Amino acid sequence: MKFKLLLLIFLIVQCYLISCSPEQKSTISGIQIRSIQNNLNKNISRTLESDIFNDVNVGILITTADNENILFKRDEKRPYITASTFKVISSAVSLVKLGPDHQFKTPLLTDGRLSGDTLNGNLYISGKGDPGLKIDNIHDAVDQLRKKGLKRINGDIIYDVSYLDKEENRYKPNARNLYAPPGALNLNYNWIDVRVIDGSPAKLFLNPETSYARLTYNVKVADIDQPGRPVMTFKEYNWGDHFNIQGTITRWDKKYHYVHLGVSRPGLFTATILQVICKKKGIIITGKIREGRTPENADILSEIRSVPLKETVRVMNQESNNVIAETLNKVLGAEFISLPGTREKGLKVLKKFCILDIGMKENEFSIGDASGLSVNNRFSAYNFVKSLNYFYKDRKIRKALLPTLALQGHHPHAMIPVPPDHIKVLVKTGTLSVSGVNTVIGYILIESGPAFSFAVLANRKRPGPMTYSGTLTNPILTAIVNSLKEIYPIKKI
C-alpha cells in the first residue's frame, strides 16, 4: 500500500514537471535554411516583377519565430504605413496588460429606492469601456430588473460615459461604420446595419430600428461584383443622427458589409436602446434620457459582464474592428495612467511597451492610433517581425494571441489559395484602399516543424488605382507559402 502511494506521488510530480517544462522547439537545419532562402529569393523576386508593383515600395522580412534566422529581407528597415496590421500590437499589449480572461462590467444602478414595483429615482447605465456590448446583453440586464418586480421608474435614464473621454467621428461627416468613435459605452460596435431590399426603387431599413437614427436615401441596387461604395453621411441632432445614403449598392458592398452606419454618440445610442427595451418588457419610465455622472452611493440593480477579453480580441483581429481597437487603447490609458482614458494616454502605454518590452528604438516607429486608420502609424517590417517573435517566444502571449489571428483557408476573408493542412498561415491584414496601402503580418506554422514570422508591407509611392484588400500582398504571401511547400511537402502515408 505504501509503495502504491509513493508511486502515485511520483507520477503526479512527473506530470507537474512535464506541464511546467518549456515547449520543445522544432529544429531547422542549415541545409533547410539555405533551401528556404533560395526558394524565397526565387519566388518573391519573380512575383515582384509584376507590373502591379510599379511605383510601389515593398518591405519584407521573414524569419524563424524561435531563433530568428533571417530567411528573406527586402527594405526591411524602412517605416511603412501599417493600416490595420497595427492591431496585432495593440491587441497583444491589451492581452498582456489586462489579461486574456479579463471581463468588463457594465452596471445598471440607481440613486433612488425600490418600493414595491416602483423605483423612485433615476436609472444609471455606467460605461466601463466594454467594446463588445450587444443588444442581447441589454435585454438580459432589463430581465434582471423585471425579476426584482420592477414595472415603473419615476426618474430619468442617465448614461455615464465619464470613464473614457468623448470624441467626435474623426472623419465627419462620413458615416461609414469604420469611423464610428469609441466610448465608455459601446453597443453593437456602435454600428447600425442597413438592410437592403432589392427592387425599383430599392428600399432600405435600419437594424435596429431606433428613435436615435433617421434615414433618407436615393440609391439603386446593381447585381455586380464591383464596389459601388455609396456615399454615406450624417448630421447630429439632440435626439441622435440623421443618416443619408446616396449612390449604388452592389453585391460587393453587401458581401463586405460596406453599408453599415456608425453612430456619433455611443452613450446616447446605448441609453436610447435601453429605454426601448424597458418599454417592451413592461417597465414604464416617466423621465427622459440624459448624460450624467453616477453618484458614489448608487446601488447596483443589475450588471452586464462581458465575454473574456481574448474572445473580443479575436473579433477585433479577424474582423478588423476599429471600435474595439480604439476602445481598448483608451481603457489602457484609464487603467495604467489616469481617468478619463484617452487616445493619447493609451498610445503612451503602447509606445512604452514597444520600447521597454519588445526593445524597439523610439526614433524607428510612430503611432497615430490603435486601429491603423491613421497614416501616422509607421512600422518597418523589421519591427513588426521583432514584435511577432517576442510575442511567440512568450508562451502566455502566444497562447492568447495566435487564436485571435485569421487562419487562411478557414476564414471568410481568406484571399490566398488554401494552404495544405500541415501548413497553417495565421495573419492580420491591413488596407487603406485610397492611400494605396496593403499590409499583412503573421505566422506560418509547419506541423511537427518550425514556425516562421513574416511581415509584408506595400505602400504606393504616389496616387494610383484603389488597392483593395490583398491587391499587393496576396501575390507575395502566395509566393511565400509556395516556397515553404517545396521544402515541407505533404507527407505520404
DSSP 362-376: GGG-B-S-SSS-STT
What whole-number distance in Å separates Cα of residue 146 and Cα of residue 158?
A: 19
Q: Which CATH number does 30-100+312-487 carry?
A: 3.40.710.10
Q: How far is CA 227 from CA 136, 154, 179, 231, 257, in A?
A: 32, 50, 19, 12, 11
Tens of pLDDT, residue by residue over 36-68, are 999 999 999 999 999 999 999 999 999 999 877
Judged by average pLDDT, the poorest of 16-20, 54-58, 370-374, 394-398 is: 16-20
The model's confidence at residue 252, banded by pLDDT at 50, 70 and 90, is: very high
Coil, strand or helix at 298: coil
Q: Is the pLDDT of residue 493 over 80?
A: no
Q: What is the pLDDT of residue 411?
A: 52
Nearest partner of 477 among 413, 412, 426, judged by Cα: 426
Pick the more confident residue, 11 or 314.
314
Superfamily of domain 105-165+267-307: D-Ala-D-Ala carboxypeptidase C, peptidase S13 (3.50.80.20)
Q: Are the beta carbons of 401 and 92 closer than 8 angstroms? A: yes
Nearest partner of 256 among 226, 215, 217, judged by Cα: 226
Q: What is the pLDDT of residue 421?
A: 85
Tens of pLDDT, residue by residue over 388-447, are 999 999 999 999 999 999 998 655 444 577 788 899 999 999 999 999 999 999 999 999
What whole-number distance in Å separates Cα of residue 268 and Cα of residue 136?
A: 17
Q: What is the pLDDT of residue 91?
A: 98
What whole-number distance in Å separates Cα of residue 30 and Cα of residue 201?
A: 66
30-100+312-487 and 105-165+267-307 agree in CATH topology: no
Q: What is the pLDDT of residue 125?
A: 98
Q: What's the whole-number mean pLDDT along residues 7-31?
A: 49
Q: Is the pLDDT of residue 295 over 50?
A: yes
What whole-number distance in Å separates Cα of residue 263 and Cα of residue 192?
A: 7
Q: Is the pLDDT of residue 6 over 60?
A: no
pTM of this prediction? 0.92
Tens of pLDDT, residue by residue over 183-219, are 999 999 999 999 999 988 999 999 999 999 999 999 9
| Number of neighbours of residue 451 by Cβ within 10 angstroms | 21
The model's confidence at residue 3, banded by pLDDT at 50, 70 and 90, is: very low
What's the mean pLDDT when you consider all of the chain? 92
Q: What's the whole-number mean pLDDT along residues 151-170?
A: 97
Q: What is the pLDDT of residue 409?
A: 67
- Show me where the domains of the chain are located: 30-100+312-487, 105-165+267-307, 177-261
Using omega within 30 degrees of 0 as the cis cutoff, is the peptide bond preceding 417 cis?
Answer: no
Q: Is the pLDDT of residue 152 over 50?
A: yes
Q: What is the pLDDT of residue 257?
A: 85
Pick the more confident residue, 2 or 131.
131
